[in-house]
Amino acid sequence: MPRWFNTAGPCRPDRNYMLPALRRLPELRALIDQEGYFVVHAPRQVGKTTALRSLAQELTDEGRYVAVHLSMEMGNPFPQDVGTAELAVLQEWRSEAHHQLPAELQPPPFPDAPAGSRISAALTVWAESAPRPLVVFLDEVDALRDETLLSVLRQLRSGYPRRPQNFPSSMALIGLRDVRDYKVASDDRDHLGTASPFNIKVRSLTLRNFTADEVAELYAQHTAETGQRFEPEALALAFESTQGQPWLVNSLAKVAVEELVIDRTQPIRREDVERARSVLIARRETHLDSLTERLREPRVRAILEPVLAGTFAGGGDTYQDDLQYTRDLGLCAPDDPVRVANPIYQEMIARVLAGNAEPKVVVAPRSFVLPDGRLDFTRMLEEFAAFWREHGEVLAAGMTYHEVAPQLVLMAFLHRVINGGGQVDREYGVGRGRIDLLVRWPYQEGGQRRLQRHALELKVWREGEKDPLEKGLAQLDEYLTRLGLDEGVLVIFDRRTEAGGTESRTRFEQARSPSGRQVTVLRA
């Protein structure tokens, strides 16, 4: 049976292209041998379940342990009813053990214990009857909430000193978050804010993304089986667009080889990966949709809003916790500087936040395409200025992320005009109060593919600040130098009360950058 790129559920080596599941968690075996209890947390669909199921199978097959991967998700509907949640979880455990373990390693009947002690009692009799040390990987632990979550964590902590003869020798809690961010209702918070009541953990591990070499290695499996190769530029763009996020890596390739270039004699080119990226963003698949649902959470907004505006400077009582939370969700990159995790997420976030503005853009995108196929960029800027005069203030006022609202309106306009014909790349100047945009528009000239490029820098003039024109020209100059362009556009959104209405303040000016480049300044 031919294999394919997997985007739903755990990978199976006989059916899916996949990398060695445990390569990204090299510490696990040592922790298990040391009878450790630990946490594995990472964003959705990065390979947690695949890795831990694979390890459980390996450990059992080697004959040293009875290892099993179990889910806690069935307890989710019962956050306050501990006993009912326990019964639902234990019923699911028995079914999972039946599928994962040979008959001689199956658990014994679970005892009829009082509510609030059933998980502990089940693990105790299982560990006592197992012919080898019992290793348990508990997935979806953070699906539990409130009283049920606290009860389960306390039962695990209570049984911990009895290991390995009378309780699992080693255990992993697996989920999106570290223990401190597990959901629990209280008077003043909605998460634990501490590792207690699971302070027995020895490590908290996370699953890193693929490296560029690993993306190439994964895609090479498709080439080996079908003969269809990925050109070097396509591989580079796939990694650049995803930063190695496993679901995105697989999804880009799946769209490219199954929908866009189904002829296996034809290679996957850079433009095919660009089209695949546009398809993913337009569809808002479940993985992407679940992430964007988080954008309205106060903890997420506290980090992302200044990141998107280019004003992020850190600080605040909850800064470190909120930043770690957005990183655990996968929305922000795991290292500094603080930034959105990858360009696909950047595009998705901008589109979702500007979603109310884009339907207001009624101009026809094709009206900006010149007879020779080039983009009439000057006219597009003029049309945006007219659009801003009519709708800008109202649309910006209605956006959740107020600090970056004007920039989002402009990006919504560009999405509508450019989408389908070109690409808008964005960079957020963390701590520098800027957003850089690059409009790329392909066209044909003399039978050759050409690429039109236009750079824009977006600045905001806020109350109590001086005119950002001088600083903006210098920053745009740096951006143009990096791109190798001779001219650019500086957009200054004036949000001061004394600036007057949009009709009077929206205008074009001409300026020169410090190195003498021509700059069109749009004040809005």
Q: Structural domain boundaries of the chain?
A: 28-205, 212-283, 354-523
Average pLDDT score over residue span 128-133: 97
Closest CA to 327 of 238, 204, 199, 217: 204
β-bridge pairing 203-205 and 37-41: parallel
CATH architecture entry for 28-205: 3-Layer(aba) Sandwich (3.40)
Highest mean pLDDT out of 132-146, 305-319, 355-369: 132-146
What string of DSSP letters covers 408-434? HHHHHHHHHHHTTT-EEEEEEETTTTE
pLDDT digits (tens, 9 = 90+) for 233-292: 999 999 999 999 999 999 999 999 999 999 999 999 999 999 999 899 888 777 777 778
Average pLDDT score over residue span 293-319: 84
What string of DSSP letters covers 291-308? HHGGGGSHHHHHHHHHHH
- Strands (DSSP E) found in 123-253: 134-139, 170-175, 203-205
Band (196; pLDDT cuts 50, 70, 90): low
Give the per-residue pLDDT at 187.
39
Distance, CA of 4 to CA of 253 (rounded, Å): 10
Q: Where are the alpha helices (H) located in 268-362, listed in sequence order?
A: 270-283, 286-292, 298-309, 319-329, 343-353
The pTM (predicted TM-score) of the whole model is 0.85
Which of 76-80, 248-252, 433-437, 480-484 has the least mean pLDDT? 433-437
For the cut 80, the answer to whether the pLDDT of residue 75 exceeds it is: yes
**136: which DSSP letter?**
E
- Please determine, looking at this structure, whether the domain spanning 212-283 carries the CATH number 1.10.8: yes
Give the per-residue pLDDT at 178.
80
Distance, CA of 308 to CA of 98 (rounded, Å): 49
**How many angstroms separate the Cα of 265 from the Cα of each of 74, 220, 223, 228, 440?**
46, 15, 10, 6, 29
Band (186; pLDDT cuts 50, 70, 90): very low
